[in-house]
Chains A and B, each alone.
Chain A
């Protein structure tokens, strides 16, 4: 069974500091994708970053980077220089390989609060 674990229900970070949101996964598939989404209070799910299981380098998108450690099955999200607008729920997700329509498995989420 596929499983995504986010062990931090809530996190606080000071504005302008970096923060790491943890995500571990469990799968026996050789090919999979890892994703992070941001969900503000409005409810929309905003795609942040993607890492493929065969990617050699860690993904980066602006202030977001994904610390991918395949052997440890972790895919932590690092947000640098936190901003007040970063306060939201963050979900880690994993997709299976293409034959299963790339169905997503979501973690339970981490609520990030950025303090001024």
Chain B
């Protein structure tokens, strides 16, 4: 149980375009979903926390207009990187938490490369 999927797993796009990443909880309802960014050989950096039906809470220094988060249902959250630039190239990983505990279950991640 507690499976989280993420799509796409890899994406290459041109500078200036927008990219949407989907995060789905497959076998449970996710009370809260989280979006992280990870640079090579570094730890995970929390970008934002999202709850179904409400606006996401962004961490300090994360541009909310750049990284649009939509938590449309209890099983789906999306992250849209708008007007992507090469410095946005990174590994983006989502996690989901059910209402039974604190554990976050992570998706497999999305590797974004902006040319």
Chain A interface (Cβ within 8 Å of chain B)? 33, 35, 37, 42-47, 50, 52, 91, 95, 98, 101-104, 106-109
Contacts and interface: CB of A to CB of B under 8 A. Distances in A.
B8 to A, nearest CB: 13
Interface residues of B, number: 25
A103 B43 contact: no
B73 interface: no
Contact of A107 (B43, B106, B111): B43
Given A104-B34, A106-B44, A35 B103 contact: yes
B46 A42 contact: no
Across the A-B interface, give the 9 residue pairs with the lowest CB-CB distance, nearest first.
Answer: A45-B106, A33-B102, A43-B109, A44-B108, A102-B102, A106-B43, A95-B102, A106-B44, A108-B43
B27 to A, nearest CB: 14
B43 A91 contact: yes
30 contacts: A35-B102, A37-B106, A43-B38, A43-B91, A43-B109, A43-B111, A44-B106, A44-B107, A45-B44, A47-B2, A47-B103, A47-B104, A50-B101, A50-B102, A50-B103, A52-B102, A91-B43, A95-B102, A95-B104, A101-B49, A101-B57, A101-B97, A102-B102, A102-B104, A103-B34, A104-B44, A104-B46, A104-B95, A108-B42, A108-B43
